[in-house]
């Protein structure tokens, strides 16, 4: 059966993957309210398309940190991709590069920064968890720099791991034939079986709960790479992130895997954009499955979006070809949405192209 949209990959992944692995990728925290909202909230935003505009040429290109990319659709960090497919992060890196876009590599990847760099040219960011041992962090950041990564995406919403009940039920643990490749030489690459979630135990043992804004400053003393703060959903933290020297902000609720009952990211986006006041670019991840979702995020002020689960689900289904297809489908849908909305370039996408449920009713123009 031909796959015609991104969401269809999830069912294929569910069939193909062991239950423990699929549940790890698919599930959210606790009641999974935010998980469902991340998707559903997009349906609370409708279009106000403009007609009779020459849309024979559509330009989707944009720049991120001065790097030109083919479209504002990038790859979010997702952990342990070799659980989905033997080629794991290698396949994802090649697919991103072929699509002319950015891949973010997870700290908890099953391929190292050096291995991913060896797949060939490409613009790549490195997602960072801050470990209790700062020497480990400094070493990892330097390795990412040496491997040609262009930015650090600092995850700030995980002082502790969210309560993911599927992982507790399944006693989730990294399969024995895999390691967290970036930590292999440091004796931190394995995950022990625990009486709940092996990952939760790993995080409790290794990740620094004392992480604070001063550490964002510290990070700038050990690297010249720009730092994106990933996991901001309020105006207050937006202002603090900018004060702390962030080069960009990623509005993220960690795929609804951390604190349940936080808003969908698309609902939090505008508050963050307004607080940023154009000082740094704001990006969104969480719930994007359609080109229409991409357009809505840009209309609300995002500079681009990142996709996570669609990557691992398509990777499980079809390897590199699956990830390429997801990026291609989103690209084509987004281009069509732009054309049907009367937008020929990203700068033509405005807040007036959408109406959200929370907008005040528009008064009809006085004649």
151-155 and 227-232 as β-strands: parallel, antiparallel, unpaired? Answer: parallel
Do 141 and 222 meet the contact criterion of CB atoms below 8 Å apart?
A: yes
How many C-beta neighbours within 10 Å does residue 27 have?
19
For residue 44, give every residue at least 6 positions away whose Cβ sits within 8 Å of its Cβ, in sequence order, or none.
Answer: 267, 356, 357, 358
Residue 47 pairs with which residues in a beta bridge?
Answer: 354
Q: In a 10 Å sphere around its CB, with 0-12 CB exposed, 13-18 middle and 19+ buried, how is residue 15 labelled?
A: exposed
Cβ atoms within 10 Å, residue 239 = 16
Q: What sign for the dihedral angle of Cα 189, 21, 34, 324?
A: positive
Say how far apart CA 142 and CA 217 lie, in whole Å.
Answer: 16
254 carries an active-site annotation: yes
Q: Which two tokens stand for residue 102?
A: 């950015």
For residues 37 and 263, the answer to whether their CB atoms sit within 8 Å is yes
Catalytic residue among 85, 135, 254, 353: 254
8 Å CB contact between 311 and 75: yes
Q: Are 213 and 244 in contact (CB under 8 A)?
A: yes
β-strand partners of 268: none
CA pair distance 330, 336, nearest whole angstrom: 10
Question: The dihedral of CA 84, 87, 90, 93: what is its sign?
Answer: negative
Strands 124-128 and 45-47: unpaired
C-alpha closest to that of 25 among 230, 256, 290: 256
Give 297's contacts (C-beta < 8 A, 6+ positions apart). Answer: 266, 269, 284, 288, 305
Give the residue numbers marked as catalytic. Answer: 254
């Amino acid at each position: 059966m031909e796959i015609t949209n991104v969401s269809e990959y999830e069912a294929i992944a569910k069939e193909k993957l062991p239950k423990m692995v699929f549940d790890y990728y698919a599930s959210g925290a606790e009641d999974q309210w935010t998980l469902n909202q991340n998707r559903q909230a997009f349906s609370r935003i409708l279009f106000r398309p403009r007609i009779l505009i020459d849309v024979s040429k559509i330009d989707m290109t944009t720049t991120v940190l001065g790097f030109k990319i083919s479209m504002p659709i990038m790859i979010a960090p997702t952990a342990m991709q070799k659980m989905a497919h033997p080629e794991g992060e290698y396949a994802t890196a090649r697919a991103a590069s072929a699509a002319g876009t950015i891949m973010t590599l997870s700290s908890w990847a099953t391929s190292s920064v050096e291995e991913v760099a060896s797949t060939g040219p490409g613009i790549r960011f490195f997602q960072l968890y801050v470990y209790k041992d700062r020497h480990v962090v400094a070493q990892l950041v330097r390795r990412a720099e040496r491997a040609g990564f262009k930015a650090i995406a600092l995850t700030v919403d995980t002082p502790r791991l969210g309560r993911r009940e599927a992982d507790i039920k399944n006693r989730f643990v990294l399969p024995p034939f895999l390691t967290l490749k970036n930590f292999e030489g440091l004796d931190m690459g394995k995950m022990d079986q625990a009486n709940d979630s092996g990952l939760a135990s790993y995080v409790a043992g290794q990740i620094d709960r004392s992480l604070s804004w001063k550490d964002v400053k510290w990070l700038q003393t050990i690297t010249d790479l720009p730092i994106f703060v990933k996991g901001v959903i309020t105006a207050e933290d937006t202002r603090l992130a900018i004060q702390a020297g962030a080069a960009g902000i990623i509005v993220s609720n960690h795929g609804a895997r951390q604190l349940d009952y936080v808003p969908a990211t698309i609902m939090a986006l505008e508050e963050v954009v307004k607080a940023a006041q154009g000082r740094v670019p704001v990006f969104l991840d969480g719930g994007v499955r359609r080109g229409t979702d991409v357009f809505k995020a840009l209309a609300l002020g995002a500079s681009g979006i990142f996709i996570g689960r669609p990557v691992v689900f398509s990777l499980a289904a079809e390897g590199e070809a699956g990830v390429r297809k997801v990026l291609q489908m989103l690209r084509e849908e987004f281009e069509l949405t732009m054309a049907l909305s009367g937008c020929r370039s990203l700068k033509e996408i405005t807040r007036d192209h959408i109406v959200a449920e929370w907008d005040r009713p528009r008064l009809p123009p006085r004649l």
